[in-house]
Amino acid sequence: MKFSLETTLVILGLCFAFALVQAKEDERPNVLFIAIDDLNDWIGCLDGHLQAKTPNIDRLANDGVLFTNAHCQAPICNPSRVSLLTGIRPSTSGVYELKQQLRQAPILEGAMTIPAQFKANGYYVLGRGKIYHGKPYSDEWNDFKTAPDARNNQFREKPVSRLPKIRVRDFGPIDLPEEQFRDVINARWAAKELKRNFNKPFFMAVGFRLPHVPLYAPARFFLNHPKAEVSLPIIKEDDLSDLPAAAKKITRYMDSTPLNHRSILATKSWHEAVAAYLACTEFVDHCVGLIINSLSQSQYAKKTLIVLWSDHGWHLGEKQLWAKRSLWEESTRVPLIFSGPGLGRSRCDRPVQLLDIYPTLVELCSLTKPPQKLEGHSLLPLLSQPNSPWPYPAITTFHCNDHSVRTDRWRYISYANGDEELYDHSLDSNEWHNLVHNLKYQAVIAELKAHLPKVNVPQAR
């Protein structure tokens, strides 16, 4: 078949344009998106606990940018993850609780989540484990499956700890082959997938469930944490004395569950609980190592961006609180690491948010902007210059109109009923001394209060 010169030029032009598009797509980085549940700052690189053993996460932090002052948008699983995945604050969406569905919030009906946005931009999107709180939306993925977790049978059959009626909040070593833990199953799946050939850039999400309760790990991970040698968190006995009524009310949830400070003390279980959290964190670090070791040996080692994050922190007795569900440092501060091509090695102490991940990925991966307005800020300036000016505080929300504002130095908490707290982290990193009634700090409070969300929608149904 013969073509005219004009037709031939058109065909060649189209081929050239396609080649340019293909080349541009091939230059976009792959993304390895690692989510960890309930992981606070008890990792080596954040110095949250001197006995934490997390060599793989630490290696990732040393190879990339570690954000040492990163905070979640909600100290509870579902609203934190919905906010991160959509780029919308809980106070804007009305998603504050565990059982709310993302797509039932009116403002999120047309929103595109991070995996959906990558898929729409030509990425192959695959994942395993806990990314959403609950089942993922299948239309957002090319490949997503769930795996059983045999560890959940232990608390149903015979709890390990001494706490009465403990059930799902149990903790301790269990005699279960590692390959039956879901976190290992998902890590090995990811390690295997990284050996295959992808014909387009990929977005791979892997969500680890530990150190979420039940705090079970194989016995070998407890060897580094004998209970007699475990260091307990430093606490102040009268730490609750300067708290307002609202702070006590919204943080006493665990008092009505079997895992509470009174029961921990009565059964002399504090050392065992801390040992279990450290052992589970070490176990998750092992799983992270399976993935990043596989990546380092793969053809994608030099063209894959790694983002590691946790959805919120966890208390282990601080302020007599267990689990999360507070607006204090132990609940809001989380690990956040970016590592990969074009990124340097540094630590950034600026206050950043999980909300900032979405706009950062849009820029790093040359994605089109999603239909919703992202409420976070791209971290690109801090990825290149960690000491760059950063006027944005980190905002955490727990229920409608209950907020925390975290800056480099201060934490200010405002509750819906008007109660307040103020802590100076330059002098009081444990948040032991509430300064809100000291007239000396009224100008500071006014400045921090100006950052509170202006939109506070009721809980979405």
- The residues annotated with a catalytic role in the active site are 77, 133
Distance (Å, whole) CA 112 – CA 370: 6
Give first-to-last CA distance, the chain, whole Å: 63
Question: SS3 sequence, the chain?
Answer: CCCCHHHHHHHHHHHHHHHHHHHHHHHCCEEEEEEECCCCCCCHHHCCCCCCCCHHHHHHHHHCEEECCEECCCCCHHHHHHHHHHCCCHHHHCCCCCCCCHHHCHHHCCCCCHHHHHHHCCCEEEEEECCCCCCCCHHHCCEEECCCCCCHHHHHHCCCCCCCCCHHHCEEEECCCHHHCHHHHHHHHHHHHCCCCCCCCEEEEEEECCCCCCEEEEHHHHCCCCHHHCCCCCCCCCCCCCCCHHHHHHCCHHHHCCCCHHHHHHCCCHHHHHHHHHHHHHHHHHHHHHHHHHHHCCCCCCCEEEEEEECCCCEECHHHCEECCCCCHHHHEECEEEECCCCCCEEECCCEEHHHHHHHHHHHCCCCCCCCCCCCCCCHHHHHCCCCCCCCCEEEECCCCCEEEECCCEEEEECCCCCEEEEECCCCCCCCCCCCCCHHHHHHHHHHHCCCCCCCCCCCC
- The CA distance from 205 to 85, in Å, is 12
**Amino acid sitting at position 308:** L
Print the SS3 string covering 3-69: CCHHHHHHHHHHHHHHHHHHHHHHHCCEEEEEEECCCCCCCHHHCCCCCCCCHHHHHHHHHCEEECC
